[in-house]
Amino acid sequence: MMLLLEAWTFILEHPARFGQALYTHVVLSAAALGTAAAIAIPLGIVVADRARGALLAVNAANIGRTLPSLAVLALVMPVLGTGFAPSWFALTLLALPPILINTCAGMREVDADVVDAARGMGMSAREIVFRIKLPLALPVLFAGVRTAAVQVVSGAVLASYIGGGGLGDFITAGIAMMAVPQLLVGAIPATLLSLGTDFLFGRIQRRLTPIGLRT
């Protein structure tokens, strides 16, 4: 309890530092998630129709998924150096697999009879993707975005190790100086941010589920 109070006092005493760290954390996460989504969703849509492409993409993504977040950051550093950009890059890599896998799965899971009916009625390949497959795949697709978002927000704590800033700065400093209150200043908001992200994206996911599919 004492520690929490001390942590709270620390925030009140350093509002600018805390605000900056929180801001960097959110911007870094949002940038990484946005970039990953912009790459993985179109890629997933394109490869979903090709059996071999989908297999390749999903396997590659699964390998990417097994890499520890810290290892990804460490591997990026020698190439891109330190700061915001390499952290952004590394976190984007972290966010790609779940979005790609779920986009692919969502598109491929659409009932074959529904697609056959759409083709048979004269929808073009493009119309089938945008009017039928994508709306039906959206809940699964967005579940991937949600997973990625939580991973990125959690993973962003590690950006501190390569100078990316964010709430991880308080944790690394807290560990280095054996200052538990300062460690908590990073750890507790980071945890709340992850939980909040999961909750928020869960709400969005429900909103994106077509009414005809809601349970």
Partner 1 sequence: MITLDGLTKQYPGTAQPAVDHISLTIPKGEVCVLIGPSGCGKTTTMRLINRLIEPSGGTIELQGRDVTHMDAVELRRGIGYVIQQVGLFPHLTIAENIATVPRLLGWDAARTDKRIDELLELVALEPVTYRDRYPRDLSGGQKQRVGVARALAADPPVMLMDEPFGAIDPITRTRLQDEFQRIQARLKKTVVFVTHDLDEAIRMGDRIAILREGRVVQYDTPEAILARPANAFVEEFVGQDRALKRLSLYTVESRMGPVASVADDAPRLRADTTLRDALSALLGARSELALVLDPSGAALGTLRLEDVHAAAAGR
Q: Rule CB under 8 A: which residues touch partner 1? A: 111, 113-124, 127, 132, 135-136, 210-213
CB of 209 to partner 1, least distance (A): 9
> 57 or 132, CB closer to partner 1?
132
> 74 or 115, CB closer to partner 1?
115
Calculate the dihedral angle through the C-alpha atoms of 39, 34, 101, 187, rounding to the nearest 10 degrees. 140
At CB < 8 A and 24+ separation, what contacts does 128-134 make?
129/45, 133/45, 133/48, 133/107, 134/45, 134/107
Cβ 8 vs Cβ 70: under 8 Å? no
CB of 211 to partner 1, least distance (A): 7
In 3D, which of 106, 119, 125 has the Cα closest to residue 213? Answer: 106
* Other C-beta atoms lying within 10 Å of the C-beta of residue 89: 18
- Structure token pair of residue 20: 């900056």
> 137 or 158, CB closer to partner 1?
137
> 17 or 119, CB closer to partner 1?
119
Output Rg (C-alpha) for the chain, integer angstroms.
20
CB of 106 to partner 1, least distance (A): 13
CB of 128 to partner 1, least distance (A): 10
> 1 or 126, CB closer to partner 1?
126
Q: How far apart are CA 73 and CA 87, in angstroms?
A: 7
CB of 56 to partner 1, least distance (A): 24
Q: How far apart are CA 23 and CA 165, in angstroms?
A: 10
